[in-house]
Amino acid sequence: MPNSNSKISLATRPADEASAVKEGSGVRKLIRVVLVSTTLICVWLTVRFPYEVESGIEYLLDGPNRVNPQTLHLRGEFVESNLGPVEEQGGTVTVRMIAEQYLFVPQCVVVPTGVPIRVRMTSADVVHQLTISGTTDEVKVVPGYIVETHLQLERAGEYQMPCHEFCGPGHYTMRSRLTAVPPEEFRKLSREARMNCAKP
């Protein structure tokens, strides 16, 4: 009868299984414990030291948009040789800038008209707000995060980019310039020329 059979087998099975369980999955259990505890330690480290720990868990959580504002100039996307306008495949332009007290760096940027422009920016110290006069673009730049804004300028000329978030005693003069030129002219300019400030 199934019930009695099952009872007997239940009685005997644990004894058979006990040794099997101990042999086979003991190592596996240990590995699992180690992995889980390491995971928990990594999580705790990242939460406790959000800027110092540049580990993979940061990347998993919000990686592409997180940076360490203190080490922007040492490595990563916002090293100073990587700032400024760059033409991507497909004709769009990506402009990388850093907002700091009290400049948007690079301070003078040349971009082409009529082309989608993607501005990627982060802050090196406090919260700033990039505003492009003549457009409705306003984006808060927060230290530790990369913000991205898309714009397209149809009119050639000079656009002022003042800071619209109080950032310290130098906030009121914090301004950079965006110069829009026809795309052919933009392509002729060298990398340095695209970030050159014309003398007053």
Partner 1 sequence: MQNRKSLAKGCGRRRAPIRLAVLTVAMLLLLSARADVMGSDVNEPPVRIPSNVAWTARTIALASSGNALRGLLIARRCDRCHGREGFSSSPSVPNLAAMDRLVVWKQLDDFRSGKRSSPVMQPIANSLSLEDSADVAAYYWMMPIAPDPQDDRAFPQPLSDPKHEAVAGRLINAGDGNRGLPPCQACHGPIGFVTGAPSLATQNATYLLEQIEAFASGRRANDINMRMRSIAAQLTEEEKHALAESYGAGLGESSAGPAGR
The reply to whether 47 sits near partner 1 by the rule CB under 8 A is no
Q: Report the distance separating Cα 119 and Cα 107, nearest Å.
A: 14
Q: Report the distance separating Cα 86 and Cα 194, nearest Å.
A: 9
The reply to whether 73 sits near partner 1 by the rule CB under 8 A is yes
How many residues bind partner 1 (CB under 8 A)? The answer is 67
Q: Report the distance separating Cα 139 and Cα 149, nearest Å.
A: 7
The reply to whether 80 sits near partner 1 by the rule CB under 8 A is yes
Give the shortest CB-6-to-partner 1 separation in angstroms: 4
Q: Which of residues 32 and 150 has its CB atom nearest to partner 1 in the complex? A: 32
What would the two tokens of residue 122 be? 């982060």
The reply to whether 127 sits near partner 1 by the rule CB under 8 A is no
Q: Report the distance separating Cα 147 and Cα 140, nearest Å.
A: 8
Q: Which of residues 89 and 136 has its CB atom nearest to partner 1 in the complex? A: 89
- 3-class secondary-structure state, position 87: strand
The reply to whether 72 sits near partner 1 by the rule CB under 8 A is yes
Ramachandran class of 124: left when φ > 0, alpha when ψ lies in -120 to 50, beta otherwise: alpha
- Are the C-beta atoms of residues 121 and 147 closer than 8 Å to each other? yes
The reply to whether 170 sits near partner 1 by the rule CB under 8 A is yes
The reply to whether 106 sits near partner 1 by the rule CB under 8 A is yes
- Are the C-beta atoms of residues 123 and 113 closer than 8 Å to each other? no
The reply to whether 16 sits near partner 1 by the rule CB under 8 A is no
Q: Could you list the residues that contact partner 1 (CB under 8 A)?
A: 6, 9-10, 13, 17, 25, 28, 31-32, 35-36, 38-39, 42, 51-52, 54-60, 63-68, 70-77, 79-83, 86, 98, 100-107, 124, 146, 168-170, 172-177, 191, 197, 199-200
